[in-house]
Amino acid sequence: MLERLIEELLQDESLTRGLSEQEAQELLTWLIGLLEEDTDEREGRLVQRLGRRLARLAERHRVPVEELIELVELAWGEEEPAPPGTEPRLQA
């Protein structure tokens, strides 16, 4: 079932219409990661709908897909926001 859902994502042109090659790759990679977390048929359809909406928002409002993904993850509570005025530190 997972393979079929991924194949449907990859064939859905509405997911990448209007996006740059890099943005399309970022979106598809993220959506496939979501599918791999939960392969339920219903959830798979919701992931596909989410991808279409993010692609439309990115195209219409010229917002980078990466920023939209970060907003979704923040809303889901997957990332802690950085305190105002601080920058993330790079570690070796």
Q: Which helix (H) or strand (E) holds 44?
A: helix 41-61
- Asked if residue 85 belongs to a domain, the reply is no
**What pLDDT was estimated at residue 89?**
54
**What pLDDT was estimated at residue 37?**
87
- Asked if residue 86 belongs to a domain, the reply is no
- Asked if residue 87 belongs to a domain, the reply is no
- Asked if residue 83 belongs to a domain, the reply is no
Give the domain extent around 22. 2-76
**What pLDDT was estimated at residue 69?**
96
Q: Which residues of 7-16 are buried (b: 16+ CB within 10 A; e: fewer)?
A: eebeebeebb
- Asked if residue 60 belongs to a domain, the reply is yes
**Tens-level pLDDT at each residue, the chain (92 residues):** 889 999 999 999 989 989 999 999 999 999 999 999 866 888 889 999 999 999 999 999 999 999 999 999 999 986 555 555 555 555 54
Task: Output the CA torsion sign for 61, 65, 67, 68.
Answer: positive
Domain count, the chain: 1
Closest CA to 66 of 33, 16, 24: 24
**What pLDDT was estimated at residue 1?**
84
